[in-house]
Structure 1
Amino acid sequence: MTKISGPFVAIVTPFDGDEQLDIAALRRQVKRQAGAGNGVFCAGTNGEFYALSFEEKLAVAEACVEAADGRVPVLAHIGEISTRQTILLGKAIQGLGVKAVSAITPSFIACSQAELTAHYRRVADALTVPLYLYNIPARTGNTLEPQTARILADHPNIIGIKDSAGSQESLDAFLAIARERDDFDVLVGPDSLVLHGLRNGAAGCISGLGNIAPVTLNGIHAAFVAGDAAAADAHQTRFGALRKELYALGFPPAMVKRALYRAIPEVGASRLPVCISAELDARIAAIAADYVELRA
């Protein structure tokens, strides 16, 4: 398959006032990102996968593929707590036209590295679509160790990892694996490390903040590819400032969605139990006014 690379946005899932999926609004967000040149990663952390039903995840993936219409690639998240449910979701989604899928480590259950190895091998064995590992220990309680990823990289259907551990140390350990071989790639999760990752061999990134600033996100990658170090640094600096200001206010996915809502109300609110106080909303609105990019 063609190598998957470049910037992807972990796209928000729009809801109406009754917390029902707003597929029309989702399609418009996909087209907005495609217009900026960004690929789409659907039903991930910023897409509130933890609040979506099995059927809703399918509807989201289908809508994203249709709206992208081949202009940009679409990746889908399929991670569930059990191996069985992850496989069932992956099998249902793989026929919808996504380029690859990713799966977080199982949450709630404390897994050994041997259990994580067995889990990912079973999922990869069961699917025809390529699989990315997804390391996000702060949310799952399970850390995918670099040596485990190195072992899993030998599986022909495991093509890389999205690392969202949040530290440069973690990212660098996975980048070292990617530099050892040409069949395993790293997609950068932390928005603060996009440019660092690209400069050290990452194939691309999956960004939450790209919902707010799609042009800045794409600018980091485009400037890097063009060899314009100054422009790449400038875009990353702006992205880093947005991250620092917004993420200091609360749960990052909820802050991202609320900031986008302040500029594009049709994306709706996060599903309960997420609540935004009037005071917090005002602070988010001020940040949104400075950073939300509506046009490519």
Structure 2
Amino acid sequence: MTGDKKAFVALVTCFNEDETINYAATRAQVRRQIEAGNQIMCAGTNGDFSALTFDEKVRLCAEVVDEVAGRAEVIVNAGMPATHETRLLAREFDRIGVDGIAVITPFFIECTQEGLIRHFTCVADSVDTPVYLYDIPARTQNHIEPETARTLAAHGNIAGIKDSGGAQDTLEAYIAIGRETDGFDVYSGPDHLVHWAVTNGARGCISGLGNVLPDVLARIISCVNAGDESGAAEAQSIYTHFRTELYKLGYPPALVKRALFLRDPSVGLSRQPALLPDAAQDKAIEAILTKFGV
């Protein structure tokens, strides 16, 4: 299908020098993404969700939704290790009003596939907002097997999955489930697979790198929607090469934040114990930004 692909940016959460959230700066990042033509995901991996308190996530969601004011879609991540807290967060986001609630697989707690089914089902049963599964096994050590995704896709309030695993065969399996199941959309997480994913059946992408290159991400999607495959491939090539050079320097979310910081210090540093400023690394990041004309 053309004309209906979407790009969500996993929005950074901006911090003040004392590590409190800078809501005004975060709102500015929301406006920047809307102007580029992207949708918003907040409290995701690139939004430092694991470093935020319950109350901060609730306020962050409310501030983002208020700033968006219906101009873009908003998905917010509610996933926590325990089903209980995940459900409580999801209910708060449901009350605020968002377009989707993403639920990252539990982390630290090792889960069986049956345990994952119980976890996601419980959350989806608790809210009216559509729920999206969120698979990122490298970070959580729990993986949603395709057969588990197929079982969960039958739930009336589970609307899709974000695949951040990076394995193309798993993404293909999820996309096959989406083809078989009405109302189950697949969003690709890996930045190098945006073009491939949306031309092979994914509904869209949720990208962290879009914080640094919002216009390039938007161009991949707009070109696909316009049927301009060469334009999409060219934009994807830029996106992929930038990703390769930046991410080989270390932990991707922290590097995205740092690259953005070097161009806009209002975003602040990452909460500790994430990346600290490093002169040599900053010089390497600066060289990449300059090379790509950012």
Q: Give the TM bin, normalised by the shorter chain.
A: over 0.9
* SS of residue matched to 1:46: helix
Aligned to 2:117: 117
Asked if 1:203 is matched to 2:209, the reply is no
Q: Normalising to structure 1: TM-score of the pair? A: 0.96
Distance in 1 of aligned mates of 2:210 and 2:131: 22
Note if contact 2:153-2:181 (Cα within 8 Å) is conserved in structure 1: no
Distance in 1 of aligned mates of 2:101 and 2:173: 22
Q: Which runs of 4+ in 1 moved over 4 A?
A: none
Aligned to 1:70: 70
Note if contact 1:249-1:255 (Cα within 8 Å) is conserved in structure 2: yes
Distance in 1 of aligned mates of 2:175 and 2:197: 8
Q: Shift of residue 291 of structure 1?
A: 4.0
| Number of aligned residues | 290
Note if contact 2:154-2:181 (Cα within 8 Å) is conserved in structure 1: no
Aligned to 1:212: 212
| Equivalent residue runs for 1:140-289 within 5 Å | 140-274=140-274, 275-289=276-290
Note if contact 2:15-2:268 (Cα within 8 Å) is conserved in structure 1: yes
Distance in 1 of aligned mates of 2:216 and 2:182: 28
Asked if 1:44 is matched to 2:44, the reply is yes
Distance in 1 of aligned mates of 2:293 and 2:206: 18
Where does the alignment leave 5 or more consecutive residues of structure 1 unmatched?
none
Note if contact 1:212-1:291 (Cα within 8 Å) is conserved in structure 2: no
Q: Shift of residue 182 of structure 1?
A: 2.1
Q: Shift of residue 273 of structure 1?
A: 0.7
Percent of aligned pairs with the same amino acid: 48
Q: Deviations over 1:224-255 (max 9, x none)?
A: 01111100000000000011000000000000
* SS of residue matched to 1:256: helix
Q: Normalising to structure 2: TM-score of the pair? A: 0.96
Note if contact 1:187-1:203 (Cα within 8 Å) is conserved in structure 2: yes
Distance in 2 of aligned mates of 1:211 and 1:106: 25
Distance in 1 of aligned mates of 2:70 and 2:218: 18
Distance in 2 of aligned mates of 1:149 and 1:156: 13
- Pair 264,290 (structure 1): closer, same or farther in 2 beyond 3 Å: farther
Aligned to 1:86: 86
Distance in 2 of aligned mates of 1:19 and 1:281: 20
Q: Deviations over 1:87-111 (max 9, x none)?
A: 0000011121210110111011111
Q: Deviations over 1:245-281 (max 9, x none)?
A: 0000000000000000000110011011122321111
Q: Deviations over 1:127-152 (max 9, x none)?
A: 11110000000000001000000000
Distance in 1 of aligned mates of 2:5 and 2:101: 14
